[in-house]
Amino acid sequence: MTKWSHIFNSTSITPPRNFRAKVILILTLVAGLQVYFIGDSFRSLFHPLGQRPLHAEQVLARCASLKISAGPSASFHDRTQSDRFVRGTKPTLLHNARIWTGENNGTQVLGGDIFIDQGIIRGVGNVNLSAFGLEFDAMVARGELDVVDVRGAWVTPGIIDPHSHLGDASSPALSGAVDNNSWKGTIQPWLRSLDGLNTHDDSYALSIAGGVTTAIVLPGSINAIGGQAFTIKLRKTTERSPTSMLLEPSHDINNTHHDSGHVPWRQMNLIVVLGALGENPSRIYGDTRMDTFWALRQAYDKARRIKEQQDAYCSAALAGRWSNLGEFPEDLQWEALVDILRGRVKAWLIAELPGWSLMTPVPQLSNEFKFPIAAVHHAHEAYLVPDVLKRAYGMEYNPTEKCSSHGTGHPPAVAIFATFARYKREAYRGSEFAARILSENGLEVVVKSDHPVLNSRYLIYEAQQVHYYGLPANLALAAVTTLPAQVLGLEHRIGYLKEGWDADLVVWDSHPLALGATPAQVFIDGIPQLHVPHVVSKPETFQELPKVPNFDREAEAAIAFEGLPPLLPEAASSDTILFTGVSNVVIPHPATCSLEGLADSEQVRVVDLQGGAISPGLVTYGSPLGLQEIQFEPSTGDGFLFDSLASQVPKLVGSGDHSTVRAIDALQFAGRDTLLAYHAGVTKAIVAPVHDGFFGGLSASFSTGATHKLADGAVIQEITALHVSVGHFSLTGRPSISTQIAALRNLLLALPDDVTVESQISFRDVARGLIPIVIEAHSADVIATLILLKKEVEEKTGAIIHMTITGATEAHLLVKEIAMADIGIIFKPSRPFPTTWERRRVLPGPPLSKETEIALFLGHNVTVGIGVDEASSARNTRFDAGWAALEAGGRISKTQALALASTNLEKLLGCDTREASSGSSDLVVTQGGDLLSFESKVIGVISPRRRSVDLF
């Protein structure tokens, strides 16, 4: 018998109790497993829903989240503290304010107080602190409450820039800090401006000083889809990180989780240049508009397919059909576009397109893929086709009545510049009346900086200009406050002065739509941003809304002539023009006037100036006005200028190592920017050959109102000055600064008396003091070297060199030395900005500094002029001069302000001063006010030189 045979023995043997339990347990488990697997097989056959996965709840939650609409939570205004509140920030009571709230379509103005606490506005108007459980006197005594009597100052919401590259296109511009554009392909929705945001951009403090509290930072505009934009508050944070600047971060950035049922809006400049149906991608990638539009459709089709897959997946999951369902379909590269199709992204179209090009792409793309458009940016010609935008997705458009009603959304807003235009073909028909025309056609208008294209510090100036040209005041202020907030989907917390909104506000030194309006204090999240603000006292009249001229006739002409109304001047038909209602006359030469004999004349035309003025014609310098019609169209200008320090000059141009090019030979007359400047009182332009190198050639002066070069008085002076540039500028491979200085020294000192080459003659004439030399330089170090060089040449030649430095951003660091060296200065532009490293040390002016560069130099008896960089800015010369006087706080008279852009420029640039003394200078006639004010309109030019009186 084997050892274990007894187990089968018939003899009854009772096993232990624990043994029986183990056997029963094992048999039960085996049976259970058999039943389970058999049951599962039967379920697979007869119940196709499949086994519910372990992560089912997460999947179902993910699917439910796809249906959540973007926007604030329903309880948002129940908050008592901002999510951006900084602990230790004391509450503030602004007392005795004139409050523009943004309510009632921007028409509500309250008198009273504003109480801010915990980063939000707690009360507006008649504020009773006891209602908040606060004891006013006790808090003030303990230093727990800041009370500021603003003495009737205007207070508005913080300025919102709806199109900026702050932080991504940093200032000063350095090759190691340029992150606004990617050159990797035209369709890149996966890129994020946040990932390139530089928190050390010098522009933040400057923009805050202009009242800007919030900006949306977009990727650049060279791509059809440039990437995702992010909204930031501009104040510094203790964390110093890009994410700490974000306003309502999206998708759990910064570990910020949001309430169930609530996701914040996302932003994207989806279609950069209709974004990229315009010139930018064409220049970069060689794509036509057809190529770009197809690329856009492909991208959206890819996103649509992913969306449809997600929707099908979620339908199956919600129905419990889990069998073979797999993973949730998604693609990180395309998730932003999918969110657009779900209506959770504010899509921006950067559409620098001709009006006819807007006719198809904008509504077609949005309707084909069923997504709304928040705003169309740039859109220089949108005012010519306002009804087109009303056909975008979400609108119910009535083609018969040419109007739209709100369907699922509203027409896209239009984000524009006020007067900056004509730099591209797509911008050539841009009009200063676009804002009013769009508004009159039921479209919301916002103005933007495209910083650093325009300095966002002066975004309020854009609002002032659209108001000047006809946009109602309430809408002009809304264009930089409430309307951008709405377009961003953030109107629940910024853009208004209302209880519960973010404590972002600006206290102004004058009415915000008055010329030169400057913040006296700026609050962001309830924190004052200007530590020691310098506030200029301005006339009481500047506390009131300026009464702007009527431009109805001009606006109608802009539409009738499709953006190109006639601008050529027509001489008055009457023999005699009698101007009445003249408030003041400023002329650069003595004159007499007699009314004898007028009664007997049958050809007397009487023009009532209604308190207007007669002033000297203004002069513009610094832009390619008269040499280039469209900046990015080479065929419309003079073309490339050879520079002997960077390239070999063709021998046919002249002998020697370099040749002097003369601007007179390439002058173009009757250009649109030229004539617009003439209509704005700029009657003379002084222009040097357009160059991007050391040697610039000889400038000329011409009449901006002349029709062609051979017309009477068209060319005023064929040669005015010799121009060079010293600095790094933008030319690749530019010779070193020391090389440039060495070349300049050699040209001024090493020339014999018997030279015959024109370029050498020009430098010899400079060394002898016969013509001025105008040197573009911005760095204080370069300017110091030029001062020493001037002294060196004068000691060796015994002559006085007439030197003018233009640009001169850092010149204020050497004001005493420049005054002693008798060097003239042209500030170009008239308000400084740290564009490059050589310009980083700016004198910003109020409210950041008491002193302005212009007033500083005039105070040291330096001859000062002002210039512009862009041709389209020439028309604003009169406002630049008036602004300079206002910032100086009474230290610059109107006569001195006019001289900044007239007689001073002529002196500095070598113009023959005998013209003024002979009485042949042009005079400008304004109606409603003097030439430097927003109340006036230029209505005519008296031109003895051209023997005409032009009335506009």
Q: What was the pLDDT predicted at 222?
A: 82
- Terminal alpha carbon distance of the chain: 133
Q: What was the pLDDT predicted at 254?
A: 56
Q: What was the pLDDT predicted at 48?
A: 52
Q: What was the pLDDT predicted at 204?
A: 97
**Are 491 and 818 a contacting pair, CB within 8 Å?**
no
Identify the residue with better confidence: 113 or 44: 113
- State the CB neighbour count (10 A cutoff) for residue 3: 6
Q: What was the pLDDT predicted at 465?
A: 98
Average pLDDT over residues 787-800: 95
Identify the residue with better confidence: 583 or 7: 583
* Weakest-pLDDT range from 477-491, 723-737, 832-846: 723-737
Q: What was the pLDDT predicted at 752?
A: 66
How does pLDDT run across 878-887, given as a tens digit for each residue?
999 999 999 9
Average pLDDT over residues 174-196: 90
**What token pair was written down for 933?**
């004010």
**What token pair was written down for 400?**
């018969």
Residue 270: pLDDT band with limits 50, 70, 90: very low
* pLDDT above 70 coverage of the chain, percent: 85
Residue 311: pLDDT band with limits 50, 70, 90: very high
DSSP labels, 415-473: EE-SS---SSGGGTT--TTHHHHHHHTT--EEE--TBTTS-GGGHHHHHHHHHHTT--H
Q: What was the pLDDT predicted at 39?
A: 42
Is pLDDT of 760 > 90? no
How does pLDDT run across 811-830, given as a tens digit for each residue?
999 999 999 999 999 999 99
**Are 787 and 826 a contacting pair, CB within 8 Å?**
no
Instruction: Say if strands 146-149 and 92-100 run parallel, antiparallel, or are unpaired.
Output: parallel
Q: What was the pLDDT predicted at 45?
A: 37
Is pLDDT of 356 > 90? no
Residue type, 281: P
Q: What was the pLDDT predicted at 351?
A: 64
Identify the residue with better confidence: 391 or 5: 391
- The position carrying tokens 């890149």 is 188
Say which DSSP state 479 is in: T
**Are 181 and 126 a contacting pair, CB within 8 Å?**
no
3-state secondary structure 583-639: EEECCCCCCCCCCCCHHHCCCEEEEEEEEEEEEECEEEECCCCCCECCCCCHHHECC
**What token pair was written down for 531?**
């530590």
Q: What was the pLDDT predicted at 683?
A: 98
Say which DSSP state 890 is in: T
- The position carrying tokens 């069998």 is 323
Residue 46: pLDDT band with limits 50, 70, 90: very low
Adjacent-strand bridge partners of 124: 114
On the CB side of 286, CA atoms within 13 Å amount to 0
Average pLDDT over residues 517-525: 98
Is pLDDT of 525 > 90? yes
Nearest to 489 by CA among 210, 244, 160, 212: 160
Q: What was the pLDDT predicted at 898?
A: 97
How does pLDDT run across 669-696, given as a tens digit for each residue?
999 999 999 999 999 999 999 988 898 9
Average pLDDT over residues 364-378: 89
Highest mean pLDDT among 215-224, 256-265, 740-749: 740-749
Helix (H) / strand (E) element for 803: namely strand 803-807
Q: What was the pLDDT predicted at 890?
A: 92
Is pLDDT of 273 > 60? no
Query: Using CA atoms, how far apart are residues 797 and 37, in angstroms rounded to an integer?
Result: 108
- Sign of the alpha-carbon dihedral angle for 935, 940, 942, 943: positive
Nearest to 494 by CA among 479, 506, 478, 482: 482
Say which DSSP state 15 is in: P
Q: What was the pLDDT predicted at 597?
A: 55
Nearest to 923 by CA among 669, 642, 635, 577: 577
Query: Using CA atoms, how far apart are residues 663 and 685, in angstroms rounded to an integer?
Result: 12
**What token pair was written down for 316?**
């199956």
Contacts of 332 (CB under 8 A, 6+ apart): 190
Query: Using CA atoms, how far apart are residues 392 and 366, in angstroms rounded to an integer?
Result: 6
Is pLDDT of 277 > 60? no
DSSP labels, 109-169: EEEEEEEEETTEEEEEES--GGGGT--HHHHHHTT--EEEE-TT-EEEEPEEEEEE-TTTB
Q: Average per-residue pLDDT in the chain?
A: 87
- State the CB neighbour count (10 A cutoff) for residue 54: 7
Is the peptide bond between 634 and the residue preceding it cis, with omega within 30 degrees of 0?
no
Is pLDDT of 52 > 50? yes
Adjacent-strand bridge partners of 925: 614, 940
Average pLDDT over residues 184-193: 91
How does pLDDT run across 379-403, given as a tens digit for each residue?
899 999 999 888 888 875 454 444 4
Identify the residue with better confidence: 214 or 46: 214
- The position carrying tokens 């690329």 is 295
Q: What was the pLDDT predicted at 67?
A: 87
Dihedral angle of Cα 102, 108, 114, 120, to the nearest 10 degrees: -30
The torsion angles phi and psi of 719, rounded to 5 degrees, stand at -135, 125
Q: What was the pLDDT predicted at 910?
A: 96
Is the peptide bond between 539 and the residue preceding it cis, with omega within 30 degrees of 0?
no
How does pLDDT run across 647-670, given as a tens digit for each residue?
666 666 665 545 689 999 999 999
Q: What was the pLDDT predicted at 349?
A: 76
Residue 352: pLDDT band with limits 50, 70, 90: low
**Are 392 and 363 a contacting pair, CB within 8 Å?**
yes
Q: Give the global pTM.
A: 0.90
Q: What was the pLDDT predicted at 278?
A: 58
Q: What was the pLDDT predicted at 203?
A: 97
Residue 889: pLDDT band with limits 50, 70, 90: very high
Contacts of 594 (CB under 8 A, 6+ apart): none
Query: Using CA atoms, how far apart are residues 280 and 186, in angstroms rounded to an integer?
Result: 10
Say which DSSP state 238 is in: S
**Are 694 and 661 a contacting pair, CB within 8 Å?**
no
Is pLDDT of 531 > 60? yes
**What token pair was written down for 565?**
């109304």
* Weakest-pLDDT range from 39-43, 187-191, 220-224, 886-890: 39-43
Contacts of 93 (CB under 8 A, 6+ apart): 113, 114, 115, 116, 127, 129, 145, 146, 147, 148
Instruction: Say if strands 266-273 and 228-233 run parallel, antiparallel, or are unpaired.
Output: antiparallel
3-state helix, strand, coil in the chain (%, to 5): 35, 20, 45
Residue 861, burial from CB neighbour count under 10 angstroms (0-12, 13-18, 19+): exposed
- State the CB neighbour count (10 A cutoff) for residue 566: 9
Q: How far, in Å, are 466, 475, 504 from residue 106 at the CA level?
A: 15, 6, 17
* Weakest-pLDDT range from 375-389, 606-620, 699-713: 375-389
**Are 504 and 157 a contacting pair, CB within 8 Å?**
yes
